[in-house]
Amino acid sequence: MRIILITFLAILSAACSNIEEQAANGNSLKVNQAKKSSNDNFYSILKFVDGDTYWVNDGSSKGIKVRLIGINSPEPRSYFKMKEERFGKEASAFMEKLVGSKQIRLELDVQEIDQFGRVLAYCYFKDGRMINEEMVKNGFAQVATYPPNVKYQDMFIVAQKYARENRLGMWE
């Protein structure tokens, strides 16, 4: 019985290791594709998820799922363990209107992938405006920085103060 258990655990360990390796390779591919974009490559949006997450067209069949760093927008609907939050639908609609069919560029920080396999990025329009900051400044996201990705934390705090003082978006 003990030999069967040890054999089973060894097989299970090898299988988990292989799954982790495949996931790491997939994430490395995503990061490499995203890093290429920081060299003035611009992408279009394939699909909006909510006010801080969307899929970009990288030429693959699926695209890259991107999560905006340093901000958090309210959830537009209930899914998984998340509940729909006030201003969630408005934040998502604002993101879609803000970005629309414009091309965006990604900038990565220290941590490049989150626990859900999303590429973490600061996203920019061709005119240099940062989408992350625009969402906060217009009151449709709030500051949510997590070390080590804190490069623009101070800028986001200033943007949030502006939105609150001017009673914009969720701060009305």
- The CATH number of the domain where 23 resides is what? 2.40.50.90
Q: Which own/partner contact pairs does 32-38 have at CB distance under 8 Å and 24+ positions apart?
A: 33/58, 33/60, 33/64, 34/58, 34/64, 34/66, 34/106, 34/108, 34/112, 34/119, 34/121, 35/108, 37/105, 37/106, 38/105, 38/106, 38/107, 38/108
Check whether 4 has a pLDDT greater than 70: no
Arithmetic mean of pLDDT, 13-21:
43
* pLDDT per residue as tens digits for the range 50-79: 888 999 999 998 999 999 999 998 875 556
Q: What domain range is 67 assigned to?
A: 2-171
Share of the chain above pLDDT 90, in %: 59
What pLDDT score was predicted for residue 37? 46
> Is residue 33 very low, low, confident or very high in pLDDT (cuts 50, 70, 90)?
low
pLDDT in tens, 107-119: 999 999 999 999 9
Is residue 148 scored above 60 in pLDDT? yes
pTM: 0.76
**Considering its fold, how many domains does the chain have in total?**
1
